[in-house]
């Protein structure tokens, strides 16, 4: 889907379809292979492998999972939506540990059996989180970012070829459609989103009726640094596990509050236009509601109403 409801977005993991030409060619090849004798053999083998995986899944026991590193983990806290994303991250670590239960020692707390999370589980969870959760935290949907990457690569190549500055190179929507092979609706919606987020700048065309676009984006965040979620470095976690505290070596360790309170600033993002709701602060920094009642009074009334309802 091009547009996803914001309340639904932070409850899900966002995955996208690979719409590249190479992927389409691979699908066509698989479809042709199905019609051959080898395809029939592959179909039988697929059923056998699926059954094997389902049998392996039935061997998993409903064990409790304890994370001894939980109090050392970090996560960005600059947006309220990360409250749900943080839970996804922790559940991802638990799931990976549960899948490795036959490689771990099963411990007991009375009659309760449990396994503990290993550092390798957190390393794998971090790797997956950057690929999946990192995209859901981005300001741009994955497909829009994919289009931005294609435009950026094309503009960079053309500017180098023509030996001009990026600000002097303009392109049309038709040019983008020919570049990516997407439909007119897809290109229009995604380019409008890039305009709203100030990755693109529109100009009047030579005939006055058409529009041309200038790319304001210069490749920031392609290395992945702009989408890191403040996750703890696995090497640092291993050092702490072995009792080697970085502070004991005379080095300065970054505190969790420093990691979670710092927000990655990405040039070109628009100022949020979502209206403020709820309580507001007056000149004396006392939190008040729109009817003049203070926050503590509202809390008191709410608690009394709850008790009366009970």
What is the model's pLDDT at position 205? 66
For residues 41-58, give the mean pLDDT: 95
CA–CA separation, 104 vs 118, rounded Å?
9
The answer to whether 114 touches 107, Cβ cutoff 8 Å, is: yes
The answer to whether 201 touches 212, Cβ cutoff 8 Å, is: no
307 pLDDT exceeds 90?
no
What is the model's pLDDT at position 113? 94
For residues 196-204, give the mean pLDDT: 82
Tell me the per-residue pLDDT of 57-100, one tens digit each, with 9 for 90 and over.
999 999 999 999 999 888 877 677 778 888 989 999 999 999 99
What is the model's pLDDT at position 239? 58
What is the model's pLDDT at position 65? 96
What is the model's pLDDT at position 61? 93
Give the highest mean pLDDT range of 26-35, 185-194, 203-212.
26-35
The answer to whether 279 touches 288, Cβ cutoff 8 Å, is: yes
Tell me which of 41-45, 159-163, 183-187, 244-248 is least confident.
244-248
Beta strands across the sheet bearing 112-116: 64-66, 112-116, 107-109
Of residues 85 and 1, more confidence is placed in 85
Residue 249 — very low, low, confident or very high, per pLDDT cuts 50/70/90?
A: very low
What is the model's pLDDT at position 246? 43
What is the model's pLDDT at position 166? 83
Percentage of the chain modeled with pLDDT above 70 = 68
What is the model's pLDDT at position 243? 53
Give the highest mean pLDDT range of 63-72, 214-223, 232-241.
63-72
For residues 105-125, give the mean pLDDT: 93
SS3 66: strand
Tell me the per-residue pLDDT of 8-39, one tens digit each, with 9 for 90 and over.
777 877 777 888 889 999 999 999 999 999 99
- Average pLDDT along the chain: 75
What is the model's pLDDT at position 259? 35
310 pLDDT exceeds 50?
no
Beta strands across the sheet bearing 170-171: 170-171, 211-215, 200-204
226 pLDDT exceeds 70?
no
- Work out the burial of residue 242: count CB atoms within 10 Å of its CB; fewer than 13 is exposed, 13-18 middle, 19 or more buried: exposed
């Amino acid at each position: 889907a091009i547009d996803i409801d914001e309340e639904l977005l932070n409850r899900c993991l966002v995955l996208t379809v690979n719409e590249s030409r190479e992927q389409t060619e691979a699908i066509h090849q698989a479809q042709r292979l199905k019609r051959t004798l080898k395809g029939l053999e592959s179909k039988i083998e697929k059923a056998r492998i699926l059954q094997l995986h389902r049998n392996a899944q039935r061997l998993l026991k409903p064990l409790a999972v304890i994370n001894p590193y939980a109090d050392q983990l970090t996560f960005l806290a600059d947006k309220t939506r990360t409250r749900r994303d943080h839970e996804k991250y922790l559940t991802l670590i638990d799931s990976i540990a549960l899948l490795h239960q036959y490689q771990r020692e099963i411990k007991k707390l009375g009659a309760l059996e449990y396994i503990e999370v290993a550092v390798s589980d957190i390393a794998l969870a971090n790797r997956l989180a950057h690929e999946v959760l990192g995209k859901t935290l981005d300001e741009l949907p994955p497909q829009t970012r994919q289009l931005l990457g294609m435009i950026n690569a094309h503009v960079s190549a053309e500017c180098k070829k023509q030996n001009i500055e990026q600000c002097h190179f303009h392109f049309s929507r038709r040019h983008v459609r020919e570049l990516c092979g997407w439909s007119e609706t897809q290109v229009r919606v995604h380019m409008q989103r890039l305009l709203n987020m100030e990755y693109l700048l529109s100009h009047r065309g030579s005939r006055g009726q058409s529009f041309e676009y200038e790319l304001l984006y210069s490749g920031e965040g392609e290395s992945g640094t702009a989408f890191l979620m403040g996750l703890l470095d696995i090497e640092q976690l291993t050092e702490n596990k072995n009792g080697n505290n970085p502070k004991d070596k005379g080095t300065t360790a970054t505190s969790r509050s420093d990691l979670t309170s710092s927000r990655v600033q990405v040039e070109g993002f628009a100022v949020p236009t979502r209206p403020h709701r709820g309580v507001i602060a007056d000149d004396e920094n006392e939190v008040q509601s729109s009817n003049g009642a203070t926050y503590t009074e509202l809390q008191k009334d709410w608690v009394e109403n709850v008790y009366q309802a009970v």
